[in-house]
Structure 1
Amino acid sequence: VRERAGLFDVSHMGEVDIIGNDAYAYMQKMVTNDVTSMTPGRCRYAVMCYDNGGAVDDVLIYKFADDHYMLIVNAGNTDKDFAWLSEHAFGDVQVINNSAKWGQLALQGPLHQAVLDAAGFEGEIPQKYYTFNDKMTVAGIPCLISRTGYTGEDGVELYCAAEDTVRLFEALLEAGKGVDMLPCGLGARDTLRFEASMPLYGHEMSADINPVECGLGFAIKLNKPDFIGKEALLKPQTRKRIGLKLVGKGIARPDADVLCNGEKVGIVTSGGPAPAVGGNYAMALVSADADENGTWAVSVRGRVIDCEFAPMPFYKRK
């Protein structure tokens, strides 16, 4: 994915449609980001919060029309998110869980365009990040293609009817042979998002970790009218997400204690090797006043491993 291209089946992700004349007002209430400037064919990243600011989930919003949005939600949260969205529906708003109808493939890496070229497509591939075209065909299969991904690399995500997913996957796999593309699993996807310091629900954010603490300020518009959780997010935060590079041998696993100047200041949320940059890294949630210039370490099963403060993202595409 970093040098060529990789193909992921991410059909486990959930898709929830928001339809109706009040869809815009409803979206403004439900998510942290502002959807006002979105035009049809645009995507936007956002978070849904509880009243206490904790994250219900992080979502990708697709706008089809003023009265039609689609939310991409994390697989393990689909039922919870659908219930949350349904519970808060008002006016002319329909919340429809269409997850079973969609297949979703992520084609990621600098050579993704060569794979699409070899597969054959009709329509215009979105060139701008966070845009989509829902009137595409790839290898003769109707698709929605968006210029999005969860790898820190350039690429696209393709949505097709669930029954077409295997056919599309096989067509792309065949088309990718010319650039040595490989099929990739969720372990590779996790390493890629970790290198790019992208948060994962249940690790960097959760019902107990709000998006401000998680460092997602770019996706939170506190100057827009009221949204669920806004009041809590306006308060001073007591924790922050940081990056660490392990200097000593070992791997920092989630929930390992993080020490600054010998004192426990937080816990690891994700940890592991970052092959694209070399070395072992960790993301951690620590006290907001922890000294970034201090002496850092993680405690793994009683063994203290020295670390150094590492700016995020650990990997940035050239």
Structure 2
Amino acid sequence: MTAIDSGALKRTPLHDVHAALGAKIVPFAGYAMPVQYPTGITVEHKAVRETCGMFDVSHMGEVLVKGPDAIRFVNSVTSNDVAALAVGQVQYSTLLRADGTIVDDLLVYRFADHLMLVINASNRDKDLAHLRAHQAAFDCTLTDVSDDTALLAVQGPQAPALVASLASVPLDGIKYYWFTEGRIAGVPAIISRTGYTGELGFELYFDQAQAAHVWNAVMAAGAVTPAGLGCRDSLRLEAGMALYGHELDDHTTPLEAGLNWLVKLGKSEPFLGKDVLVRQHQEGTDRKLVGFTFDERAIPRHGYGVYYGGVKVGDVCSGTMSPTLGIPVGTCYLPTAAAVEGTTFDVEIRGKMIPARVVTLPFYKRPGKA
């Protein structure tokens, strides 16, 4: 294990497991997290695409919202329509400010008597402060259960069968972005048909005290490769999934980020930022998120300058050499008029302008997926 100064860093309940596996541990969102194991990022990435990989994402935040106004409250601060959720359904959404910008992206789980919000670890304190600042007018409570909750993501073509072999309830009928409650390896769990890789799989929420037991049970159930944050990033980028702090931030609206499908302007409840988003929907935005590639084998990285018509218009949001496709891939914002497939622009890499070309997101789709 690579040594780091972890005095101020939190640890997930699987920290010792990662250390024993020889993981390279790095600071991430205030946690000491495994970025890769001795197998390496490319091997881990390919395992998720071809067989099965497992991620410890216990650093993510979970907030329970309970009370008569739970749905109305969450609907008032998010872009998607929480009221449209059926019990057992999950929704991707954005948490908004009054100016339409994104506080965070999140998942909303609807249970029979409450909601669960799954938020980014790096935004946990900010999100909770924002939620509490707008809660007063609603009859509901917020409970942060992040430190009590372990979360494993089991992803890849073989993941559904593997998780099903450990589950106390049938999983065949669970659709994408739905969940059930049952036991995994004997441990009570929320079993969610979600993920951040573009592959089949489940995310498992359960008591953090049982983390090592469940991890070991999954590892013993089949050919599972431990996977770190490094390949989680390359997998989600290939699949065109946004990362807060890269594609999304405090200065971006969901319409600029191409997340039009999760902005429900016609929902019955008023919500923060609606006026701005209605105007952007009617008039358009000044910029748009795009995917791009190079014809040469240069690698785009977060923060590299982006130039259109000889003028700097922004920076690369995310970029890598795609392990699956074998080509450079990246994302950035361009002026809306230029944000169409085939547009060419430049990315500055170490003082050299590299020609880039806009391509349609996502870069990768799972075989058989429309």
TM-score of the aligned structures, taking structure 2 as reference length: 0.81
The answer to whether the 8 Å contact 1:150/1:189 transfers is: yes
The answer to whether the 8 Å contact 1:261/1:294 transfers is: no
Q: Does 1:55 align with 2:133?
A: no
Q: Does 1:315 align with 2:361?
A: no
Q: Does 1:228 align with 2:276?
A: no
Q: 1:87 to 1:275 in 2, by over 3 A?
A: same
Cα deviation, residue 276, structure 1: 1.1
In 1, distance between residues paired with 2:71 and 2:164?
A: 36
Q: Does 1:145 align with 2:191?
A: yes
Unmatched runs of 5 consecutive residues or more in structure 1: none
Residue deviations 1:119-144, cap 9 Å, x none? x321122520011012x111111111
Alignment correspondent of 2:8: none
SS at match of 1:36: helix
Aligned partner of 2:184: which letter? V
TM-score of the aligned structures, taking structure 1 as reference length: 0.94
Aligned partner of 1:191: which letter? S
In 1, distance between residues paired with 2:192 and 2:170?
A: 11
Alignment correspondent of 1:267: 315
The answer to whether the 8 Å contact 1:128/1:147 transfers is: yes
Alignment correspondent of 2:237: 194
The answer to whether the 8 Å contact 2:77/2:97 transfers is: no
Moved over 6 A (4+): none
Write out aligned runs for 1:170-249 (5 A).
170-176=216-222, 180-224=223-267, 225-236=269-280, 237-249=285-297
Aligned partner of 2:56: which letter? D
Unmatched runs of 5 consecutive residues or more in structure 2: 1-47
2:301 to 225, 250, 253: 253
Aligned partner of 1:189: which letter? R
Alignment correspondent of 2:206: 160
SS at match of 1:122: coil
Alignment correspondent of 1:21: 68
Cα deviation, residue 248, structure 1: 2.4
The answer to whether the 8 Å contact 1:261/1:295 transfers is: no
Q: 1:149 to 1:291 in 2, by over 3 A?
A: closer
2:121 to 75, 97, 104: 75
Residue deviations 1:260-316, cap 9 Å, x none? 343333321001111111211110011112263443221123111122221100001
Alignment correspondent of 1:297: 346
Cα deviation, residue 230, structure 1: 1.2
Q: 1:296 to 1:91 in 2, by over 3 A?
A: closer
SS at match of 1:56: strand
Aligned partner of 1:257: which letter? G
Aligned partner of 1:167: which letter? H
Q: Percent identical across equivalent pairs? A: 40
Cα deviation, residue 235, structure 1: 2.4
Question: More displaced, 78-87 or 150-159?
Answer: 78-87
In 2, distance between residues paired with 1:181 and 1:102?
A: 22
In 2, distance between residues paired with 1:166 and 1:286?
A: 45
Alignment correspondent of 1:9: 56
In 2, distance between residues paired with 1:130 and 1:191?
A: 22
Residue deviations 1:24-65, cap 9 Å, x none? 111110110001221111100000111111110001000012
SS at match of 1:265: strand
In 2, distance between residues paired with 1:172 and 1:234?
A: 46
In 2, distance between residues paired with 1:248 and 1:39?
A: 48
**Coordinate RMSD, CA, aligned:** 1.4
The answer to whether the 8 Å contact 2:319/2:330 transfers is: yes
The answer to whether the 8 Å contact 1:260/1:294 transfers is: no
Q: Paired residues, what number?
A: 312
SS at match of 1:47: strand
